Amino acid sequence: MGKVIGIDLGTTNSCVALFDNGEPVIVANSEGGRTTPSVVAITSSGDKLVGQIAKRQSVTNPEQTIYAVKRLIGRKYDSEEVTSFAKIAPFGIEASDNGDAWVQAGGKLVSAQEISALVLAKMRDTVADYLGEPITDAVITVPAYFDDSQRQATQDAGKIAGLNVLRIVNEPTAAALAYGLGSQDDKKVAVFDLGGGTFDVSILHISDDVFEVLSTNGDTYLGGEDFDMKICDHLMDSFQEEAGIDLHGDKMALQRLKEAAERAKHELSSATETDINLPFIAATDDGPKHLAMTLTREKLDELSAGLLERLVEPCTIALADAGISSSEIDDVILVGGMTRMPAVRAKVGEIFDREPHGGVNPDEVVAAGAAIQGGVMTGEVENVLLMDVTPLSLGVETQGGVSTKIIERNTTIPTSKSQVFSTTEDHQSVVRIHVIQGERDMAVDNKTLGRLELLGIPPAPRGVPQIEVNFEIDANGVVNVSAKDLGTGKTQAVQVTASSGLNEEEVNRLISEAEEYSEADQQRRDLVELRNRADGLIYSTERTLEEFAENVHEDDRGEIEKALEIAKEATQGEDSGALRVAVDELSALTYKMTEVLYAELGGDDSE
């Protein structure tokens, strides 16, 4: 195997590295930059520009300059995230035939994968130029909370770029790999990754080059782009108040504002105030209008207060899922350019009650970690074990609409787990498996990943067939599900792909809702379990009455049939108390009947 490159495909910037002479090396692009803007532009002549050259012409060509496409990849057009992004993006975003979010570029609809592929190809060519030889093998990083559709879409982008994607690695895990490689210390670390468009936090245990992810959480619609827009909104509101002109509909002005906001944000990481000057931002009958104002760090912190507060909950959940307190964290590793913002660093200190580790480059550490993983795969790096996790529970819908988990969230991957189920009706020839993802007790409250059918089950009483459902999650986080009739050996499988992914915001929502509605969920689950118990009791009682019709006394039969009707009616209602009474009454009568039958039939046998 030749060289394997590590690519951090970022929302705002991308970075590429390779493992060389025993260490990861960040490779500078042709313009001399160690990071490359994740920007693609289509010129009037149809030429495609990528990176810094594309970003430079964005003000004069806003409608054909595509940025932050990572916020679209693997997402549906009608999703909340895409709807929100489409309101501020100067380029067109539309639905493809299958409902995915695509962009208008060069007079046609183009997939987010194709745009990302152009950035990936730029990264590939950067290393090829550096080495003087072609490159095909790559490790690409994604946010820890990227779902199956987004991971698959990223892999597809790699293929379009002509890359053989050997592994998809979670960004916080890659950062931890770069931070801890070669260290003999036994540590628990938190990786706090706030980039241009996504936020991840992972808790890891690192010991003797074994990297074990204990938990992960995040918010994939929170990043530097959102902080930039807070500044843009402030500038536009102030300008409208001062000049009476609304700039929201002016795409060229918006692009200038966005660039100015990004510059101001960067400057306020080291200065306490900065001047923003945008001459000729608009024009009226009275002549041109200029925007000029001073932005202080204090004002930026005020504008960002809501965004900063959103950083807290994912960290709290990650610590709880890892089963440790903030005082047990030895180091906090900062990843992503946004962690240079003083207010973000202060919030990190507040959350983890310690100063963050300052020994890594937040812009480059993820790419470096990806390159190390590449080195592991080529054999250049030995004795390193990386154990990542799946961020959300996977399971199936069972009788009564209950969610039955097969793989719990934060389980180490790759993994494979199985559970045996049976039929719910006599002579059932088909079993339909509803694959779901989430933490709620009822299937309807979770996300559907896929459905499959197992056909040709031999006729048998309910409960007799043995159907084994098996979940497999590979090292890239791709899910495969199969169902097997253990009696006949027939198997049906489904791979959960891009058409049925789950976005990171939904993951956070599902976990939050699971905690918020845990008591109500438990009550609903108890009712369903009681209904299932009643259904089984009704079934077995009716079977007994039918099979031993001649042996059941008429008085007993009448009493039992009355109890059966009451129980059947109670199963249709929502009153768990009434259902429990009906079940207990029917159970007592059935037990009494079977005792009499056993005594009578046993007596006959003994004679």
Can you tell me whether residue 474 is helix, strand or coil? coil
DSSP state, residue 115: H
pLDDT at residue 272, rounded to an integer: 97
Residues 36 and 178 in one domain: yes
55 is catalytic: no
Residues 495 and 542 in one domain: no
Question: Of 306, 331, 352, which marks where a domain is finished?
Answer: 306
Residue with the larger pLDDT of the pair 428 and 348:
348
Q: Is the pLDDT of residue 474 over 50?
A: yes
For residue 277, the cross-strand partners are 292
Q: Is the pLDDT of residue 498 over 80?
A: no
20 is catalytic: no
pLDDT at residue 287, rounded to an integer: 86
- Mean of the per-residue pLDDT values for the chain? 87
Strand-strand pairing, 431-437 and 415-421: unpaired
Residue 430 contacts by C-beta under 8 Å, 6 or more apart in sequence? 453, 454, 455, 457
Alpha-carbon gap, residue 453 to 422, rounded angstroms: 14
Q: Is the pLDDT of residue 606 over 50?
A: no
Given the residues 148, 171, 212, 380, the one annotated as active site: 171
pLDDT at residue 400, rounded to an integer: 86
CATH number at residue 359: 3.30.420.40
User: Quick check: 471 and 406 in contact, CB under 8 A?
Assistant: yes
pLDDT at residue 605, rounded to an integer: 44
pLDDT at residue 488, rounded to an integer: 85
The predicted-structure confidence for 378-404, as pLDDT tens digits, reads as follows 999 988 888 888 878 888 888 889 998
The predicted-structure confidence for 340-368, as pLDDT tens digits, reads as follows 999 999 999 999 999 998 889 999 999 99
User: Which band of pLDDT confidence, cut at 50, 70 and 90, is reported for residue 165?
Assistant: very high
pLDDT at residue 469, rounded to an integer: 85
DSSP state, residue 198: -
Residues 213 and 77 in one domain: yes
User: Quick check: 437 and 397 in contact, CB under 8 A?
Assistant: no
Residues 505 and 401 in one domain: yes
Strand-strand pairing, 479-485 and 467-473: antiparallel
Residues 431 and 346 in one domain: no
pLDDT at residue 502, rounded to an integer: 35
Residues 118 and 206 in one domain: yes
Residues 337 and 193 in one domain: yes
Residues 169 and 246 in one domain: no
The predicted-structure confidence for 529-560, as pLDDT tens digits, reads as follows 688 788 888 988 988 888 888 888 888 888 98
DSSP state, residue 335: E
Can you tell me whether residue 286 is helix, strand or coil? coil
CATH number at residue 540: 1.20.1270.10
How many domains does the chain contain in total?
4
pLDDT above 70: percentage of residues in the chain = 93
Tokens found for residue 207: 């010991």
User: Which band of pLDDT confidence, cut at 50, 70 and 90, is reported for residue 503?
Assistant: very low
Given the residues 100, 125, 147, 193, the one annotated as active site: 193
pLDDT at residue 240, rounded to an integer: 94
Question: Of 499, 516, 533, which marks where a domain is finished?
Answer: 516
pLDDT at residue 501, rounded to an integer: 36
User: Which band of pLDDT confidence, cut at 50, 70 and 90, is reported for residue 497?
Assistant: very low
pLDDT at residue 528, rounded to an integer: 62
Q: What residue numbers bound the domain in which 261 lies?
A: 224-306
The predicted-structure confidence for 201-237, as pLDDT tens digits, reads as follows 999 999 988 899 999 998 888 999 999 999 999 999 9
The pair phi, psi for residue 351, each rounded to 5°, is -70, -45
pLDDT at residue 520, rounded to an integer: 59
The residue to which tokens 């008085």 are assigned: 555
For residue 67, the cross-strand partners are 39
Least confident of 146-155, 330-339, 502-511, 519-528: 502-511
Residues 186 and 228 in one domain: no
Q: Is the pLDDT of residue 504 over 50?
A: no
The predicted-structure confidence for 256-291, as pLDDT tens digits, reads as follows 999 999 999 999 999 999 999 999 999 888 889 999
CATH number at residue 298: 3.90.640.10
Q: How far apart are the first and last CA of the chain?
A: 81
Residue 386 contacts by C-beta under 8 Å, 6 or more apart in sequence? 169, 173, 177, 211, 373, 376
Residues 213 and 231 in one domain: no
Given the residues 3, 55, 70, 265, the one annotated as active site: 70
pLDDT at residue 557, rounded to an integer: 86
pLDDT at residue 142, rounded to an integer: 96
pLDDT at residue 316, rounded to an integer: 97
Least confident of 289-298, 317-326, 407-416, 589-598: 589-598
- Provide the CA 295 distance to its chain's centre, in angstroms: 35
How confident is the model over 136-149, as a mean pLDDT?
89
Number of H helices and number of E strands within the chain? 16, 28
How confident is the model over 179-203, as a mean pLDDT?
91
CATH number at residue 403: 2.60.34.10
| Range with top average pLDDT, 116-120, 305-309, 493-497, 542-546 | 305-309
pLDDT at residue 514, rounded to an integer: 45
pLDDT above 90: percentage of residues in the chain = 51
Least confident of 185-189, 211-215, 456-460, 580-584: 456-460
Given the residues 8, 147, 321, 472, the one annotated as active site: 8
Least confident of 117-121, 176-180, 301-305, 435-439: 435-439
User: Quick check: 335 and 171 in contact, CB under 8 A?
Assistant: yes
Neighbours of 588 (CB within 10 A): 11
pLDDT at residue 602, rounded to an integer: 64
pLDDT at residue 303, rounded to an integer: 98
CA dihedral angle for residue 246, residue 249, residue 251, residue 253, rounded to 10 degrees? 0
User: Which band of pLDDT confidence, cut at 50, 70 and 90, is reported for residue 376?
Assistant: very high
Neighbours of 364 (CB within 10 A): 20
How confident is the model over 503-514, as a mean pLDDT?
46
| pTM of this structure | 0.75
Q: Is the pLDDT of residue 473 over 80?
A: yes
pLDDT at residue 239, rounded to an integer: 95
| Range with top average pLDDT, 73-77, 391-395, 396-400, 433-437 | 73-77
The predicted-structure confidence for 84-105, as pLDDT tens digits, reads as follows 999 999 999 999 887 889 999 9
Maximum CA extent, the chain: 116
Residues 460 and 375 in one domain: no
Q: Is the pLDDT of residue 109 over 60?
A: yes
The predicted-structure confidence for 15-46, as pLDDT tens digits, reads as follows 999 999 889 999 999 889 999 999 999 887 67
User: Which band of pLDDT confidence, cut at 50, 70 and 90, is reported for residue 597?
Assistant: confident
What single string gives the DSSP state of each residue in 376-424? HHHTSS-S-EEEEEESS-EEEEETTTEEEEEE-TTEEESEEEEEEE--S
Question: Of 306, 334, 364, which marks where a domain is finished?
Answer: 306
607 is catalytic: no
Residues 53 and 119 in one domain: yes
8 is catalytic: yes
Cα–Cα distances in angstroms (integers) from residue 518 to residues 409, 445, 512, 523, 530, in the given order: 16, 12, 10, 9, 18
- Provide the CA 132 distance to its chain's centre, in angstroms: 38
pLDDT at residue 521, rounded to an integer: 47
Q: Is the pLDDT of residue 479 over 70?
A: yes
Residue with the larger pLDDT of the pair 423 and 28:
28
Residue with the larger pLDDT of the pair 411 and 506:
411
